[in-house]
């Protein structure tokens, strides 16, 4: 929401006073696998959800740059103004990371604001091994990152970053000088109420500050590396194991997506009927696991892929190989004998 309100303020500052009807239709481009918060923003900020253009993704869930460019050209031809492109670092289901340098090139070419939704995958920046996947993020106009996801800060702890100094202030101030007195005894740049949407709020940033003080860059790096190592261990352990089937061989974030095939369904012809049956397995297994108090693991449908398991690891509490083995055992316990 912050990214998309800044994008339009930079280009059309008069919207603040005159409203969105004073400009041509604005559109937002984002991948078809991006987070639903873009839709909500389009509604709340008055863009309208029809003006969120869903750009195609490849089989790994990444935005297709060529389709992005085509859609931009098409919008402009139709008299609409592409105001922002949202790229995702760690899509919700597959954990895909959009090709950020390609998106940045396109945004630069057409003069469009580049926002990066790094809510989930942004924490990879702490890892020397994995941060390469975020290459190009430094060219963005704004970034959303959640310390309450992969890093494990208590809910909620969301960070918004922009390279445009003063724009948050210009965009969001209502000159409420009766609260944010300009003649205070301290620098009133600390009065975040002039830059943000809320008035009263918790000091969520404090949680990240304390974690960072306690762990340091080194501690975050170790935790992110360890988490990714556990995800890799999990993936390698189920790859080729009876009953398990990976959705993708490569995962870019810590998500591992897979099907679990009960014994009664193994070795049969995998026709449409078989897949329809398999899609019912995940919700049934989930119910059994939850009612037994064993585990709460998510499953997701995606495009034409039906329901598959999406396991998503976090840094806190620190996962272990032993835990990965336990989880694999739970799938076998609850799924093996389903019909």
Ligand X SMILES: *Cc1c(COP(=O)(O)O)cnc(C)c1O
Q: Which residues form the interface with ligand X (CB under 6 A)?
A: 35, 37, 88, 90, 92, 117, 119-120, 146, 149, 158
Q: Which residue's CB is nearer to ligand X, number 146 or number 194?
A: 146
- Tokens representing residue 112 in the block: 């469009």
With respect to ligand X, which residue has the nearer C-beta, 88 or 142?
Answer: 88
The CA-based dihedral angle spanning residues 291, 294, 300, 301, taken in that order and rounded to the nearest 10 degrees: -60
The residue at minimum Cβ distance from ligand X is 35
Nearest distance in Å: CB 254, ligand X: 12
Residues sharing a CB contact under 8 Å with residue 235, sequence separation 6 or more, in sequence order: 246, 251, 256
3-state secondary structure of 298: strand
Q: Do 106 and 65 contact (CB within 8 A), yes or no?
A: yes
For the chain, report the end-to-end CA distance as a whole number of angstroms.
45
Nearer residue to ligand X within complex by CB, 98 or 191 = 98
**Toward ligand X, which CB reaches closer, 105 or 204?**
204
Those residues with Cβ within 8 angstroms of residue 125's Cβ, 6 or more apart along the chain or in another chain: 131, 134, 137
Shortest spacing between CB 158 and ligand X, in angstroms: 4
Residue 185 has what DSSP assignment? S
Least distance to ligand X, CB of residue 337, Å = 34
- Provide the minimum distance between the beta carbon of 242 and ligand X in the complex, in angstroms, as a whole number: 32
Which lies closer to ligand X via its Cβ, residue 153 or residue 281? 153
Q: Residue 332 burial (CB < 10 Å; 0-12/13-18/19+)?
A: middle
How do 255-260 and 158-162 pair as beta strands? unpaired
Q: Which is nearer to ligand X, 35 or 223 (CB)?
A: 35
The CB-of-309 to ligand X minimum distance in angstroms stands at 17
Q: How far apart are CB 91 and ligand X at their closest, in Å?
A: 6
Q: What is the dihedral of CA 240, 241, 242, 246, to 10 degrees?
A: -60
211 sits in which H/E element: helix 205-238
Nearer to ligand X, 158 or 288 (CB): 158
What is the smallest separation between the CB atom of 281 and ligand X, expressed in angstroms? Answer: 25
């Amino acid at each position: 929401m912050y990214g998309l309100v800044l994008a339009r303020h930079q280009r059309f500052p008069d919207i603040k006073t005159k409203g969105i009807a004073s400009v041509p239709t604005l559109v937002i481009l984002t991948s078809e696998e991006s987070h639903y918060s873009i839709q909500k923003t389009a509604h709340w900020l008055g863009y309208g959800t029809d003006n969120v253009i869903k750009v195609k993704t490849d089989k790994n869930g990444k935005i297709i740059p060529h389709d992005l460019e085509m859609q931009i050209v098409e919008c402009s031809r139709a008299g609409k103004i592409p105001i922002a492109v949202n790229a995702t670092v760690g899509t919700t289901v597959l954990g895909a990371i959009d090709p950020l340098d390609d998106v940045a090139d396109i945004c630069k070419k057409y003069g469009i604001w580049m926002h990066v939704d790094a809510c989930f995958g942004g924490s990879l920046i702490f890892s020397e091994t994995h941060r390469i996947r975020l290459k190009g993020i430094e060219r963005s106009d704004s970034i959303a990152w959640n310390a309450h996801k992969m890093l494990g800060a208590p809910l909620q702890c969301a960070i918004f970053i922009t390279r445009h100094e003063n724009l948050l202030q210009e965009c969001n101030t209502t000159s409420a000088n009766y609260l944010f007195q300009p003649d205070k005894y301290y620098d009133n740049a600390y009065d975040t109420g002039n830059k943000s949407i809320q008035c009263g709020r918790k000091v969520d940033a404090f949680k990240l500050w304390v974690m960072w003080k306690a762990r340091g860059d080194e501690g975050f790096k170790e935790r992110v590396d360890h988490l990714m190592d556990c995800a890799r261990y999990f993936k390698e352990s189920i790859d080729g194991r009876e009953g398990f089937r990976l959705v993708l061989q490569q995962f870019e974030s810590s998500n591992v997506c897979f099907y679990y095939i009960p014994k009664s369904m193994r070795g049969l012809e995998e026709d449409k009927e078989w897949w329809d049956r398999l899609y019912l397995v995940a919700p049934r297994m989930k119910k059994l696991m939850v009612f037994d108090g064993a585990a709460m693991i998510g499953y997701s449908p995606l495009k034409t892929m039906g329901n598959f398991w999406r396991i998503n690891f976090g840094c806190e509490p620190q996962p272990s190989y032993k835990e990965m083995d336990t989880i694999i055992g739970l799938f076998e316990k609850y799924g093996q004998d389903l019909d």
